[in-house]
Structure formats: C-alpha cells, structure tokens
Amino acid sequence: MEIIIEPGRYVVAVSGGVDSIVLLDLLSQKSDLGLVVAHYDHGIRADSNDDRIFVEKLAKQHGFEFHYDEGKLGSETSEATARTKRYEFLNRVRNEVEASAIITAHHQDDLMETAIINLLRGTNRHGLSSMYSKDIKRPLLSFPKKDLVAYALEHNLAWREDSTNQDTKYLRNYIRGEIVPKFTIEGRDSLLRIIESSQGSNEQIDDLLSSLMTDNSKNNQINRQWFISLPHSIAREVMVTWLRQQDITVDRVAIEKLVIAAKTLGLGKSCDINKGHILRVKGDYLALLSVER
C-alpha cells in the first residue's frame, strides 16, 4: 500500500483500531514527516483507558510525541457529540504543536457510509463529499476496509477492537453492518463515482459562490438587496457558504429559517443561528455576530 502525504508536521489521530494502526505504520515509513500521535478517550466504554495505554506505548516505540485527553462523555453520548469533542481535541493539539494539518484513517468504506448517512439526513450538496477537506488529510480514502485488515495481518500489526462498533443503535454501525455489505461491486463503484463527481462539482460551485460573495460583501457583511434579489435556491447556497466561512454548521431547517429571515426581517432585527451567533439586519447589510448567552 502506498499513500501520498506532502512533507511536513502533522497530527495523526490514532484510536488504536486497525484503520489508524495501519495508517500510523504507513506514515512511520516516511522520513520527511514530523508526526505527533493524538488519542482521544471519549469515556464511553469502561475499558477505553486500555486503548490509550496501547496507543501511547506504540507512539513511544516509534519515537513520536504523544498527546491525549479524556472526555468522560458516557455511554449515552451521540455520534455527533463524540465526533465534535474528538475534533475539538485534535484541532487543539494541532494548534499547540503548530502542525500543518490533521491526518485521520478514514477509508473508502467510511466515505460510502458518510455519503449514505448524509443522504438519509437530507444534507445539502456537500453531504456527498464531506470527507474531502483541506485541513484534514485522509490518505486512505481510496482503500477499502478489507485491504487495511489484509495489510495489518500481513505485517503482524496488533490493534484494539472497539466493542461499540457493533452497536447498531448508532446509525453508522447499522449502515456499516446492514447496508454497505449489500452493495454489489457495480453498485459500490457507481456510488464512489457519484461521490468523486460531487467533489469536483462542489469545488467549482464553491469557487463561483465565493467570487459572487466577494463582489457583494465587505467586512464579512453581505449586501442585503443583492441577497434579496437572489432566487431562493441560490440564496440557500450563499447562506451555507457564508456560515461555512465562519466555521458555523447548521441543518437544512435552520438554513431555510435564516434565508427567510435575511429577506424579511426589519432594520435592526436579528435571528438566532445557534447558541453563539445571530444574524442581524444592519442598514443595507446582513451581519453575522457573535453573542454571549
């Protein structure tokens, strides 16, 4: 297996599972990388501390710097909350060690699962290609899970099994166990082609939207009359892009509410976006503002 990563300093997310162990082994063979191993203990399983001990020992064997944190989230924690806390930790480590990016072990099966989840949730066009990112490197996306397991067995790598991966109360586990295995080879290839095509289309659309917004905004404020003149479908895309530029993520229902508010609210009126942000009408412009609750 060959992966491509530009030379630099990176934070590698290592859970202790077979995927991240294979990733770490492949990365360790590249002499032009400065690697920092990061492990987040969600505190969901009683034996999760054993994962941390295992990963820390492996990092020391390779001579890599090791960072970890404990979440103590509990067994009822949602997938979304666990993911948010994990990436908060990874980004914090990235800033502390001044790394250029985070590397994760997401593979081809994860790519398919995420696309299916996002389709079921009715996310916007980014849902199909949400695993492609500039700040997060995912060099295993072209490899199916079976190839990673085969590599681990061939190279006598040890790893930890997460028992929660079998719990179908989590949507991802249900899709992994009940839906993805039912894909034919042709069906799998078709979905992967759609995902790849979606990525290319999204990049072009995002470039066009950014150009439009540059011409109709200043100081992170959007010209309201221009926004009002947009067709509703385009206004939704502009709103999503504007929020993403500020690292704000909301669901499609919230996007609809914000678009309507942006076009109909009176001068000086505002609309809640989330706990920390509001949309406000300021004269001829729409503004995103941070607020304390």
pLDDT tens across the length of the chain (293 residues): 899 999 999 999 999 999 999 999 999 999 999 999 999 988 877 778 899 999 999 999 999 999 999 887 776 767 778 888 899 999 999 999 999 999 999 999 999 998 888 888 777 677 676 677 777 999 999 999 999 999 999 999 999 987 777 777 778 889 988 899 999 999 999 999 998 888 888 888 888 888 888 888 888 899 999 999 999 999 999 998 898 888 787 888 889 999 999 999 999 999 999 888 999 999 899 999 988 75
Q: Are strands 136-137 and 217-218 parallel, antiparallel or unpaired?
A: unpaired
Contact partners, residue 158, CB within 8 Å, separation at least 6: 21
- CATH T-level topology, domain 216-290: 3.30.465
Say what the pLDDT of residue 143 is.
95
**Residue 37 and residue 65: Cα distance in Å, rounded?**
6
Beta strands in 179-276 (DSSP E): 217-218, 221-223, 270-274
Structure tokens at 180: 């993805």
The CATH class of 8-186 is alpha beta
Q: Are 262 and 279 in contact (CB under 8 A)?
A: yes
Structure tokens at 52: 């941390």
**Residue 83 and residue 215: Cα distance in Å, rounded?**
35
Task: Indicate where the chain has its CATH 3.40.50.620 domain(s).
Answer: 8-186
Say what the pLDDT of residue 205 is.
86
Say what the pLDDT of residue 224 is.
95
**Residue 127 and residue 149: Cα distance in Å, rounded?**
27
Task: Indicate where the chain has its CATH 3.30.465.60 domain(s).
Answer: 216-290
For 9, the enclosing helix (H) or strand (E) is strand 8-13
